[in-house]
Amino acid sequence: MFTRETLLHNLHTHILGKKIFVFDTIDSTNTCAKVLAEINIENGTIVIAEYQTEGRGRLGRSWISDHGKNLLFSIVIKPPIHRSRVGFLPLYTAVSVAQALESYLNIHVECKWPNDILINNKKCCGILLESSFQTDILRYAILGIGINVNQDRFNEELFETATSLKRELNTSIDRVALFQHIVCYLDGNYILLENNDFATIVERWIKRAPMMGNEVTIIHGNEQTTGIAEGIDSQGGLIVRCQDGVKIFYAGDVSIRSSKR
Ligand code: BTN
């Protein structure tokens, strides 16, 4: 079981993780973080749980995770960025988690737009970003991070597409140390948000995104579009060259079809 003491022990950060709320069971760490953000909890506050009864994923999906095996946490951040730049927050989060996984586990990970992290083409981490604005400036964002760490089995629906770090590495991972690594990378990269240095975030993200330059299919609502992923636009959207011109996506699910993969 996580404790505040172990999670904070030797955690040397500037902004993130100065305050941390630890739960065994909660509905959703994102829902809790949102309530705290609404009462103006300090920048960098983290909510972490061993189990969620109503874990939420993107596009109204649920996030299912065994008790005591994974990392389920949400961080309240308050960089004063413009509404038009909020699309970079998933990329900032994904890059930071990817850097932490690479450095702590010495593995190769890939980023899939907008905010999945894959190992060997299977998803090991999902990110749910929720935000609130005052006029056009970000009031707070909740970075909800779910990582399949020591999960052994996945249900039939997820079996083909999901994995855990333990499954990929054949060994159990120390969740506290990994959590601290991730928080340190998010904390180190936070300055990029403060400085509006989205170019560096995109550069680090693209380095880990094999979909760039390849054919992708984007499903958004009832629409399906196929084209070549060409880059990230000035708002964090995905630029896709289709037969009938260039389109930019700000939401959706991407599948990648490529001979290079
Ligand atoms: C996705 O890929 O659909 C995003 C999944 C995000 C799951 C995490 S787990 C911690 C936090 N609390 C939630 O309810 N969701 C996020």
Q: Burial of 13 by CB count in 10 Å (0-12 exposed, 13-18 middle, 19+ buried)?
A: middle
Residue 58 near ligand 1, beta carbon < 6 Å: yes
Q: How confident is the model at residue 259 (pLDDT cuts 50, 70, 90)?
A: very low
Smallest CA separation from ligand 1 atom 10, residue:
72
What's the pLDDT at 257? 66
Are 218 and 225 a contacting pair, CB within 8 Å?
yes
Residue 91 near ligand 1, beta carbon < 6 Å: no
What's the pLDDT at 13? 97
Smallest CA separation from ligand 1 atom 11, residue:
144
Query: What is the pTM (predicted TM-score) of this model?
Result: 0.95
Residue 55 near ligand 1, beta carbon < 6 Å: yes
Indicate the SS3 state at residue 129. Answer: strand
What's the pLDDT at 159? 83
Q: How confident is the model at residue 260 (pLDDT cuts 50, 70, 90)?
A: very low
Q: Which whole number is the average pLDDT over 199-226?
A: 93
Rounded to whole angstroms, how far apart are CA atoms 17 and 21? 10
Mean pLDDT over the full length of the chain: 95
Full set of structural domains in the chain with CATH: 4-206 (3.30.930.10), 215-258 (2.30.30.100)
Rounded to whole angstroms, how far apart are CA atoms 218 and 207? 21
pLDDT digits (tens, 9 = 90+) for 9-68: 999 999 999 999 999 999 999 999 999 999 999 999 999 999 999 999 998 899 999 999
